[in-house]
Amino acid sequence: MSKRHERKSAAKVVRKQLAAERRRKRTMWVSIAAVAVLVIAGLIGWGVYQSQRSDAGPLVVPASATTTTGETIGNGPVQIQIYEDFICPFCKQFEQNAGPAINDLVSQGKVKVTYNTVAFLDPASTTEYSTRSAAAAGCAADGGKFKEFHDALYAQQPAEGSAGLSDSQMISIGTGLGLDQNSFSECVNSGRYKPWVASVTDAASRAGVTGTPTVKVNNQVIPNPTADSVVAAVNAA
């Protein structure tokens, strides 16, 4: 092999090596850029999430509730969990059918009932009525009128797809039940319990609840719940 040919072969090898090095660097910088984009997107998302949490206000809990459950009434040995949404027409039907029987079970000391007022149907109103009404019910609980307010909201249930009752209308309902005008209206207008409603709704989803009404007796779901099926489940518990 001539020296000239050797030099050409060596140059060709060098060019290949340089080209490979350029490709390696180009790939490295593309990867770094992609990682940077993901990091920036993550930081932006985290910032938005934190901002939304901040805007929502602190998570405070109304009377007879926890951060993940609604108001509890009664102190009997059998636990009834009701997952409901104030704009859900089937929840109203369940309340009309089974409400009196459940009230009797409470008065007889047989059950404790937790009303988990969730916001699954916020998209079914133009004003997030599910959240607003559940938060207002929390305000009513602070004044010792949760069940009365609960029943009144079902009695005046708005149609799905509507704006729902306004805050002032719910305040009027509450004060008509004997709640203090100043404290109740301040609680409703400030949206004090909206973060709590979100927390209860998230907890319901994590518990496998996908629709309302859902009724559990000692943590067992009652299919197609009615007054008769709930009473039967309580008596069997």
Handedness of CA 163, 168, 174, 177 (dihedral sign): negative
pLDDT computed for residue 34 by the predictor: 44
A 10 A CB-CB count for 79 gives 17
Higher-confidence position of 5 and 38: 5
DSSP helix/strand/coil, 207: coil
DSSP helix/strand/coil, 70: coil
d(CA 144, CA 151): 14
Q: Is the pLDDT of residue 80 over 50?
A: yes
DSSP helix/strand/coil, 74: coil
What Rg, from alpha-carbon coordinates, does the chain have? 29
Q: Is 70 left (phi over 0), alpha (psi -120 to 50) or beta?
A: beta
Handedness of CA 200, 197, 186, 188 (dihedral sign): negative
The runs of H, that is alpha helices, within 87-166 are 89-107, 129-142, 146-155
Rounded average pLDDT over 14-20: 54
The pTM for the full model equals 0.77
Return the percentage of the chain with pLDDT > 90, whole number. 76
Rounded average pLDDT over 97-121: 98
Asked if 204 and 66 touch (Cβ cutoff 8 Å), the reply is no
Residues near 118 by beta carbon (within 8 Å), at least 6 away in sequence? 83, 84, 85, 130, 134, 197, 200, 201, 204, 209, 212
Higher-confidence position of 169 and 52: 169
- Mean pLDDT of the chain, nearest integer: 85
Q: What is the pLDDT of residues 222-231, one digit of tens each?
A: 999 999 999 9
Rounded average pLDDT over 118-138: 97
Q: What is the pLDDT of residues 187-202, one digit of tens each?
A: 999 999 999 999 999 9
198 alpha carbon, distance to own chain's centre: 4
pLDDT band per the 50, 70, 90 thresholds, residue 49? very low
Rounded average pLDDT over 98-126: 98
d(CA 117, CA 123): 16
Bridge partner residues of 114 (DSSP): 72, 81
Rounded average pLDDT over 125-132: 97
Give the tokens for residue 75: 């102190």
Q: Is the pLDDT of residue 47 over 90?
A: no
